[in-house]
Structure 1
């Protein structure tokens, strides 16, 4: 019988970067057939349920609760323990704060020997109490998967045993960013004027939080527009800061030069018509947007925060600038727009790096190795126990 792995997800949405990574990994593991994959969630809301049914994962149990301090939490935890034992799960793999806490407690109570938590951010939005609770859950984990050096360093500084931490980079499905349509179809999908020779500088970043620092992008755009007359700028993302950013673009004299696309469901098409791609964040752990830019063969100008320097090779696949330095950001964008051959070389180099190191295949291979090592240790313990009983 194949080893049984349960992936516990927060919900079944695949629109956010972290959610998409977890869903993608579970789906790839199922398709590779080396493990029998189960999926459970804390909240059944989302669009991924139908896709799971299509690939043969029919039953996705939900363990919804509203507070760790409620009777419902205890009730669902008991139900989760019973489920794990009934299905004879070998490994439980959780993916975010709530699933880490619920899943590590439940799998420990169920006697599951393979317990894997995940950490994809550095607590910027967590309360002190939440950080404490999550750190306690890590003590129950055999391994903690992180997606970059910044998170690894953060956990070690928080007192987590370094031997438990395993780095597995985010994986990009290259098909998501490379399929092509003709120019008329792309223009219709994106609602962008493409026939007039404009060259687009693009940022993929939701307008939810100030940390994405769209003002730095817009101020760099103002300088770039003055130096490159056919440059235009695209912000793909939605959120409550949209009106504020639209007002800023008007104040900067860019009202007819910046296109706010809203949530972008046609990433490949947008990147195919982008000359340069930008990330302006003040903080970032490991940017899926950078992987998408590079996977599409586009040169990148990004702030040197979080894991950006783990992906971007300075001067080879793009440029790193300091957070908030819109003048240097503009200079780098202008350089790439004025030197298209260099920009193309950088884009192709970036794509090669993604294929080698950050593809979904590389992520799958690293995860399967992790599972196999955990199972091997479990089997060694069983053998030693049998030998002791025989003696």
Structure 2
């Protein structure tokens, strides 16, 4: 089949990784996939190339003010692309105008297009957009988020919470597929101690330090980790807090005025190809999540990265992450407090054997249940089923 993936994110951010990892596995089943995603650099013109067998088209970002989703040049390019190119199946990732409007035009100008809608974040009705004051954009998105799901032939969800939300919209259960994000077990692997020491030297980090790490975006709840680190550092001098990725502005002053700021390492934006190196030097990985609709709907891709690297995970018992940690014994869950985070971290730092056991369980879980290849095979089976029913 000829398949189009519509993703609103800037390339290399957020749900782009879910779409791209599905795409690079799905092509192994002899499909042709084009992935449209917002360019981080191109302002007026698109830029296309092949990456891991997937044709990626970076769309122009002229006047985009929301890091993907509303740019007028982006919308225009995508609409014309969908009018002049025929696809058998379109898989939309989220609901933004740069996804919603091209889809409508594709279905208007072409017959027999199968539409899969991926629901990977909880945006409206208490979700991500509720964290900001209401604007015309957020009001419109309240409608778009639900309408694109209702229009879809089939719905994929990254979490159980979003599957339930789709059921609440009266989507037939046989048309909803819970397909979690996977783990990149080929690119991210546990490393021997000798290689970890070399990487610490490369990154100019003391080889004797224990590294407590958080990777990526989605930093709304980073505060309990920063505050928890204060309590941990008071008890132990051999720890470093590592945040891999650009730090959100809300935390800049807090880090700058932190009593142990010299023991906090912020990498800034890094090429995702070297993220596995950063993860490999971490001793304990964190997934701080306050109990909100937004977080209940999430199943962060970083969870798969942590598991693939064979790292123990400390997280709050929110959403699918808590179920995975408890079921497969890959870490500890904590109350939403810096005190409990510090308490469980100090406990784990004193139990090296338990760290090793959790790490081995995490890698085994990634290989057996969350390998992107296995997750994508399930998605491909759904594509084939839909194709047979339509054609």
Task: Report the TM range for the smaller structure's normalisation.
Answer: 0.7 to 0.9
Aligned to 1:125: 128
Deviation, 1:247, is: 3.0
Question: Do the aligned partners of 1:114 and 1:375 also contact (CA within 8 Å) in 2?
Answer: yes
Aligned to 2:133: none
Superposition map of 1:51-70 within 5 A: 52=50, 55=53, 57=55, 60=57
In 1, the alpha carbon distance for the partners of 2:280 and 2:37 equals: 37
**Which residue, out of 253, 264, 284, partners 1:258?**
264
Question: Do the aligned partners of 2:149 and 2:155 also contact (CA within 8 Å) in 1?
Answer: yes
Deviations 1:145-165 (A, max 9, x none): 111102212333345443332
With over 3 angstroms needed to count, the CA separation of the structure-2 counterparts of 1:270 and 1:63, relative to structure 1, is closer
Deviation, 1:62, is: 5.3
Deviation, 1:52, is: 1.3
Q: Is there any run of 5+ residues in structure 1 with no aligned partner, and where? A: 380-391
In 2, the alpha carbon distance for the partners of 1:374 and 1:315 equals: 32
Max Rg structure: 1
In 2, the alpha carbon distance for the partners of 1:175 and 1:189 equals: 22
Matched, 1:41 2:52: no
Question: Do the aligned partners of 2:308 and 2:367 also contact (CA within 8 Å) in 1?
Answer: yes
In 2, the alpha carbon distance for the partners of 1:330 and 1:64 equals: 42
RMSD between aligned residues: 3.2
Question: Do the aligned partners of 1:179 and 1:268 also contact (CA within 8 Å) in 2?
Answer: no
**Which residue, out of 339, 346, 357, partners 2:358?**
346
Superposition map of 1:1-391 within 5 A: 3-10=1-8, 13=11, 15-30=12-27, 32-35=28-31, 37-41=32-36, 43-45=38-40, 52=50, 55=53, 57=55, 60=57, 77=79, 80-84=82-86, 89-98=87-96, 100-109=99-108, 110-123=110-123, 124-126=127-129, 127-178=138-189, 180=191, 182-183=195-196, 185-194=198-207, 197-206=208-217, 211=220, 213-238=221-246, 239-248=248-257, 250=258, 253-265=259-271, 266-282=274-290, 283-284=294-295, 285-313=298-326, 316-323=329-336, 325-379=337-391
Moved more, 41-50 or 136-145: 41-50
Deviation, 1:97, is: 1.8
With over 3 angstroms needed to count, the CA separation of the structure-2 counterparts of 1:328 and 1:51, relative to structure 1, is farther
TM-score (norm 1): 0.81
Deviation, 1:74, is: 7.8
Moved more, 61-70 or 119-128: 61-70
Deviation, 1:297, is: 0.8
With over 3 angstroms needed to count, the CA separation of the structure-2 counterparts of 1:45 and 1:70, relative to structure 1, is closer
Moved more, 20-29 or 328-337: 20-29
TM-score (norm 2): 0.81
In 2, the alpha carbon distance for the partners of 1:73 and 1:236 equals: 32
With over 3 angstroms needed to count, the CA separation of the structure-2 counterparts of 1:341 and 1:61, relative to structure 1, is closer
In 1, the alpha carbon distance for the partners of 2:165 and 2:142 equals: 12
Question: Do the aligned partners of 1:40 and 1:62 also contact (CA within 8 Å) in 2?
Answer: no
Deviation, 1:337, is: 0.5
In 1, the alpha carbon distance for the partners of 2:159 and 2:373 equals: 17
In 2, the alpha carbon distance for the partners of 1:97 and 1:182 equals: 42
Q: Is there any run of 5+ residues in structure 2 with no aligned partner, and where? A: 130-137
Question: Do the aligned partners of 1:203 and 1:234 also contact (CA within 8 Å) in 2?
Answer: yes
In 2, the alpha carbon distance for the partners of 1:175 and 1:72 equals: 33
